[in-house]
Amino acid sequence: MELASGGSLDNVVKQRPVVAVDRVIQLAHQIASAVEYIHGEGVVHRDLKPSNILLTDKGVSKLADFGMATMLQSTAASALMSKGGTPAYLSPERAKGQEYGRPADMWAVGCILLNLIHGELNIGPLWDDS
């Protein structure tokens, strides 16, 4: 496993609330590419958040903590209805206990990018369940 001596993305936001736009774009591309790759392999991460994005000493992002990940093809649809994960990064369908899949990871990526743009980690759920 590669050493991620650059810390995690949540540390970046805590240390430097204002992240340059070009850096946000670079991170967005890296994270989206990594998620696209794992989805192509049939993996749904299910717990994407800034603390699970690690950075190398050169600032390259790496997905981490696959403890909640599952293989989409080998899992019954009912198993992809769990609410487990970090509430602020759950897609509406996950939070409501509805069936979900790869798009739920992309929702979390959008939340991560909002953290970077807004410069704050605790933004809360981005949807209204009323």
Report the range out of 1-15, 27-41, 76-90, 111-125 with the highest average pLDDT. 27-41
Which helix (DSSP H) or strand (DSSP E) does residue 70 occupy? Answer: strand 70-71
Which helix (DSSP H) or strand (DSSP E) does residue 33 occupy? Answer: helix 21-40
Which helix (DSSP H) or strand (DSSP E) does residue 61 occupy? Answer: strand 61-63
Provide the pLDDT for residue 123: 66
Positions marked active-site: 47
Q: What is the CATH number of domain 9-118?
A: 1.10.510.10
Tokens (6 digits) for 65: 């903590």
- Answer whether 67's CB lies under 8 Å from 47's CB: yes
Please tell me the distance from the alpha carbon of residue 80 to that of residue 102, in angstroms, as a whole number.
10
Position 107 pLDDT exceeds 90: yes
Enter the pTM of the model.
0.85
Higher pLDDT, residue 121 or 115? 115
pLDDT in tens, 18-43: 788 899 999 999 999 999 999 999 99
Average pLDDT of 48-72? Answer: 92
Provide the pLDDT for residue 128: 62
Percent of the chain with pLDDT over 70: 85
